[in-house]
């Protein structure tokens, strides 16, 4: 199938989430660096245990996402013990170290969730490798999204597709609204590309409302690129 400019854009937008965490497959400890971004958000960077910078993953998280994080420890004027955990359906990352003056450093351990891997496998997806499970944790992949895709009778995503969809903010409500608007992607990559370009259920409804016989994913993407959608 032809890969449009939209798909290329989708790959560029999601490749960091997919490829930057490959180092986790080697196991062992990960180094972390944590810094305050705003009153409610922090930047979490994870590196390989040698700290070489190869395989760095850096993402912004809400403070509430990091269970057990003590903000006062980060704000301390001297090194203070700190610990927190990123707990998601695909697994968890437990970190401990020390913080001061708005930053923290230390080490983390990643553990994949076997029940989530079993669930994905039961839904027709492959069982995630360590690298794939780590990527799913970082973006916050969920059973709800998998269920919504299946309920809409959309093509079953592979693990990289699921990571990309989650990273782009595709939700079960978004899927349900698209399906209700008669959006039927022939391939899940079409959905990824459409979302990456800001495509919405309203775009599909607008086309149908104007009685334009143009509802395929590729054609919707071309309209979005051309700026012909409201």
22 part of a folded domain:
no
79 plus 169 within the same structural domain: no
Same domain, 100 and 133: no
Domain final residue pick, 112, 134, 163: 112
Say whether both 137 and 217 belong to one domain: yes
The candidate with the shortest Cα–Cα distance to 124, out of 169, 159, 174, 176, is: 159
Can you give the pTM of this predicted structure? Answer: 0.81
Q: What gap in Å lies between CA 104 and CA 61, rounded to an integer? A: 14
Q: Which two tokens stand for residue 46?
A: 């994870």
Residue labelled with tokens 């079409």? 190
Domain enclosing residue 146, as ranges: 5-14+124-226
Longest dimension (CA), the chain: 66
Residue 103 phi, psi (nearest 5): -135, 165
pLDDT tens-digit profile, the chain (230 residues): 344 444 544 554 444 444 444 444 445 678 999 998 888 899 999 887 554 444 568 889 999 999 999 988 888 899 999 999 999 999 999 999 999 998 999 999 999 999 999 999 999 999 999 989 999 999 999 999 999 999 999 999 999 999 999 999 999 999 999 999 888 888 898 889 888 878 888 888 777 655 444 455 667 667 766 766 66
Q: Tell whether the torsion through CA atoms of 221, 222, 223 and 227 is positive or negative.
A: positive
Does residue 211 belong to any structural domain of this protein?
A: yes
Give the span between the Cα atoms of 72 and 69, in whole angstroms. 9
């Amino acid at each position: 199938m032809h890969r449009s400019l939209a798909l290329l854009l989708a790959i560029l937008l999601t490749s960091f989430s997919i490829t930057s965490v490959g180092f986790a497959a080697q196991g062992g400890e990960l180094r972390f660096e944590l810094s305050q971004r705003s009153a409610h958000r922090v930047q979490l960077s994870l590196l390989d245990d040698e700290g070489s910078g190869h395989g760095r993953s850096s993402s912004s998280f809400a403070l509430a996402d990091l269970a057990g994080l003590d903000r006062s420890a980060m704000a301390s004027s001297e090194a203070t013990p700190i610990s927190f955990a990123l707990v998601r359906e695909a697994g968890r990352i437990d970190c401990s170290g020390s913080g001061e003056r708005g930053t923290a450093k230390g080490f983390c351990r990643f553990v994949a969730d076997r029940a989530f891997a079993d669930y994905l496998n039961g839904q027709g997806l492959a069982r995630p490798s360590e690298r794939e499970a780590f990527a799913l944790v970082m973006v916050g992949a969920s059973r709800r999204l998998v269920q919504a895709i299946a309920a809409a009778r959309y093509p079953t995503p592979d693990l990289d597709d699921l990571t990309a969809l989650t990273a782009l903010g595709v939700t079960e409500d978004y899927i349900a609204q698209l399906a209700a608007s008669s959006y039927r992607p022939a391939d899940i990559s079409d959905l990824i590309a459409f979302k990456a370009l800001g495509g919405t259920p309203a775009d599909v409804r607008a086309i149908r409302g104007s009685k334009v016989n143009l509802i395929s994913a590729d054609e919707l993407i071309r309209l979005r690129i051309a700026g012909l959608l409201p």
